[in-house]
Amino acid sequence: EAGVAQSPRYKIIEKRQSVAFWCNPISGHATLYWYQQILGQGPKLLIQFQNNGVVDDSQLPKDRFSAERLKGVDSTLKIQPAKLEDSAVYLCASSRQGRNSPLHFGNGTRLTVT
Amino acid sequence: SQELEQSPQSLIVQEGKNLTINCTSSKTLYGLYWYKQKYGEGLIFLMMLQKGGEEKSHEKITAKLDEKKQQSSLHITASQPSHAGIYLCGAAGQGLGYSTLTFGKGTMLLVSP
């Protein structure tokens, strides 16, 4: 089966600019996650969708970050305006519905804010 | 909130040697996942453990969850250059109907020829 697709792979922007990331999960996976991974750290959950509804966005900086998952498939994550500390790899993952389903990750988007 | 501490932070082993990576949780583990990450790439799922005392193996990698379910170890036998990368443990939240994971900071493994 095809894996989780993310684009772009790399993005360089200046602070205060906006940026958007796209994710296409594995077909049939109801749950979609966005994680932020800062260099040298483990991934941190930003937001989780179950189909097209948000189930956890407690760690999403809502003053600048937004995400949507239209029609319960593809998802976009947006940052507006970006700050220097947003430089990180943004990972999208998906899983089947159910507690014991492993997360499958995409290759991520590496964001550099200058 | 649950915190995972991994040790060591990094290690270099000679090809052919065995090694162990540990993951210690601040709370009881209800599901523990091991992933491997290569630089610039996403996380690759290795194994999932749920029950105290459970042990799983895949090729030369063995993972265990201790009886008290607060620590897991990942053991690699006869390491190879292909084992190099960052190993991450992730804990599933209690009572959730889905696999939201909290991750440790990772252990970087280098295998020298």
Question: Beta-carbon neighbour count of residue A15 at 10 Å?
Answer: 13
Name the B residues in 51-80 with CB < 8 Å from any A CB.
none
Distance from C-alpha of B27 to C-alpha of B47, rounded to nearest angstrom: 20
Query: What are the pLDDT digits (tens) for B62-91?
Result: 999 997 879 999 999 999 999 999 999 999
The answer to whether A55 and A69 have CB atoms below 8 angstroms apart is no
Cβ pair A43:B45 closer than 8 A: no
Size of interface A-B (CB pairs under 8 A): 71
Q: Which residue is closest to B9 within chain A, CA to CA?
A: A40
Shortest Cα distance from B45 to chain A (angstroms)?
7
Indicate if the pLDDT at residue B50 is higher than 90: no
The DSSP line for B23-85 is: EEESS--S-EEEEEE-TTS-EEEEEEE-STT-EEEETTEEEEE-TTSSEEEEEESS--GGG-E
Q: What's the pLDDT at B93? A: 73
Counting every residue, how long is chain A?
114
Sign of CA pseudo-dihedral A76, A56, A40, A61: positive
How close B8 comes to chain A (CA, Å)? 14
pLDDT digits (tens, 9 = 90+) for A59-68: 999 999 999 9
Tell me what pLDDT residue A66 has. Answer: 98
